[in-house]
Every structure is written in structure tokens, then in C-alpha cells.
Structure 1
Amino acid sequence: MKTKTYLAVMEPCTTGYDVFFPDFPGCVASGKTIDQAARNAKDALSMHYYAMEEDGEDIPEPSAALNAEDTAGNVVSPITIYPELLHEEYRNRRVKTNTTIPAWLKAAAEERGINFSRVLENALMGMIN
């Protein structure tokens, strides 16, 4: 499985650590501890990477090294993501949608314990496939 590893720069601050990725301007995170900052950085990088791919933007190759200005007094940590898993995860995530049905139908379905989401999903899958 293909992986991508980017360098995250963790800057100490009064609340813990602020994180940025020199390869991805605008991709930021933070955390109270280095471990929390690294977890949040991975989430931020994953979402940023996915959004760029979905928008058809060029994805930068990981930098092999960072300049001294970025690293001075900071912690540098490699963050690895799995692009194929990102696509699968985000593509299959559950999203909320609103629908309108007659009140009597809603009441009758609720009385029978019918799962509205499951019914709608099954019906749409049947119509699409």
C-alpha cells in the first residue's frame, strides 16, 4: 500500500504545540502535548491531502529536509498517511441529509422501529445499481 510521509514542524507555544507543514501551506494543527499534536497533525494532513486531490490540485512531493528557519527551536516529526485508505474512508463516511415525508408515514414507520437511514440507503442503492 502506497504511503506518503511529510515533515511536520511543531512549534512550542503557551498552550502546547502549534503544527504546520512546509509542504502544505495552510495545513495546521495544534495539541497540548507532542503526541496529541502529532495525532491532530495527521488528521489535518489527511483532510488537506484528500481535499487537494478532490479539487484536482497538484500534490507536493515530500521534502527531504527543511530549512533552518522552520526547524530552529522546533520539533520536527515525520507524519505518514495512506492516500488509498483516505479515499476509501472519506468516500464511505456517513453524511447527514434531510428529507420530507408525510407525518402519518413517519409515525407509522417509527411505531415499527424502521431505520430511516437504512431504508433510504437501500432504496437509493437499488435505484443506482
Structure 2
Amino acid sequence: MTDQIRVFPITITKNDNNSDYPYFVEIPDLNGMTEGSSIADAIKMAEDYIGTASLEDDLPTSNYYLPTNTKNTISTLVRVNISEYKRKHDHKVVKKTITIPNYLNELGKEQGINFSELMTDALKSKLSI
């Protein structure tokens, strides 16, 4: 299955009055805004904004046209692998069936172990996340 890749234009404007996040980012196709501490961070934040928006709503068609620059602005395109973003950030819970020996099931129930929580913690540890 092919990953879904989306491309959107962004505009970055430097704001010298904000020392922590001086790069203001507009994502016109999504009516979105974010900020960055550097140009690279601003682009990364735009990618994250687009990825997060894809978790909540259907995104509009990719737009490859850059907005017209004004003084102190940079326009560029950002590419987001929506499929990969969803794999990494979709925290919805899914039901999985596992098989364990009965004695472990009985001991776990006696101890009040939450098997779903235990499996989630074990997977995070095994996957180093």
C-alpha cells in the first residue's frame, strides 16, 4: 500500500519582537498558524500542524502554488507523509486478542493486573518508545 503524501505551501514571517519563537508560520490552505524558534523549526512545526490536522479532519487537496512573498516573508512547500504521521501519532485504542497460560491469567486477576496496560507498557519498552 502506498503512503499518502501531501504538500502544502506555508509562509514564514520573522517577528523580531518575539525572542523565543521569532518565526511565525501561516498555512493558508488549512487556515493554520504556528511558530518556530528557527526557520528549520518553523518548517517542522508546520509539518506537525498538517499531520495533526490529518488526524482530526480530511485535508484539502494538496496545493503546489506558493503565496506571493512580501517583505520579511519566505514561502515554501512542506511535504508530509500523512500515512507515516498517523502510524506514529494515532493514539486511538484498538482491541487485540492475546493468548497466555491460564495460570498467568489467574495470578494476574488475583493481583488486579490491568492486562491492557501491562501489554502497552511491555510493547513501549520493547520498541524503545
- Scaled to the shorter chain, the TM-score interval is 0.5 to 0.7
Which blocks of at least 5 consecutive residues in structure 1 are unaligned?
54-58, 95-104, 123-129
> TM-score, length-normalised on structure 2?
0.61
What are the equivalent positions in structure 2 for 1:103-114 lying under 5 Å apart? none
2:24 pairs, out of 11, 18, 23, with 18
Aligned to 1:28: 33
> How many pairs are equivalent?
99
What are the equivalent positions in structure 2 for 1:6-85 lying under 5 Å apart? 6-14=8-16, 15=18, 16-25=22-31, 27-53=32-58, 59-68=59-68, 71-73=69-71, 74-85=73-84
Local SS of the residue matching 2:61: coil
User: What is the CA–CA distance in structure 2 between the aligned matches of 1:67 and 1:22, rounded to whole Å?
Assistant: 9
Task: Tell me the alpha carbon deviations over residues 34-78 of structure 1, each in whole angstroms, 9 at most, x when there is no partner.
Answer: 01111111111110122113xxxxx2222232343xx21211122
Aligned to 2:104: none
Identity among equivalent positions (%) equals 11
Deviation at 1:8, TM superposition (A): 1.1
2:89 aligned partner, one-letter code: Y
Higher helix proportion? 1
User: What is the CA–CA distance in structure 2 between the aligned matches of 1:44 and 1:3, rounded to whole Å?
Assistant: 15
User: What is the CA–CA distance in structure 2 between the aligned matches of 1:47 and 1:121, rounded to whole Å?
Assistant: 24
Which blocks of at least 5 consecutive residues in structure 2 are unaligned?
94-107, 123-129
Deviation at 1:32, TM superposition (A): 1.9
> TM-score, length-normalised on structure 1?
0.61
User: What is the CA–CA distance in structure 2 between the aligned matches of 1:115 and 1:44, rounded to whole Å?
Assistant: 34
